[in-house]
Amino acid sequence: MPNSDIAALGKQICTARKKADLTQEQLSALCHVSTKHLANIEKGIMNPSYEILLAIFRVLPVSLDALILPRTAESECEPKELDQIYLSCPEPVRKALLDSTRSLAMNLTEFYNKIELS
């Protein structure tokens, strides 16, 4: 019988994997773990080791807090998720990502302010 915390963690990993549009086979290959092992983690049958959890965290665009503490407020997890996305990019891509994000944030804010004034 799966432990409820381990089952919740497995469900979070499964949800994040599907959101990233990855199969179990793809995620397991990226994390260097067998597909069966990953399936058992997602089912809540097996508790992932720190190393496997860290590998999953590095591959999926989700914060470690969101995986471990599923009840954490979304507003607390989102900045960490952005941080994780940034860190998952190769070093040469990071500056372009930051520049694009700054520009997008500025344009969206201006657009939002125009709508609010209407």
Query: What confidence tens digit (pLDDT) does each residue in 45-80 have?
Result: 999 998 998 899 888 877 777 666 666 555 666 777
Token look-up 């997602």 returns 42
* Residue pair 66/12 in contact by the 8 Å Cβ criterion: yes
pTM value?
0.59
Token look-up 């952005």 returns 82
Domain locations in the chain as residue ranges: 4-117
pLDDT digits (tens, 9 = 90+) for 100-110: 999 999 999 99
The chain-wide mean pLDDT, for the chain, equals 85
Tell me which architecture the domain covering 4-117 has in CATH. Answer: Orthogonal Bundle (1.10)
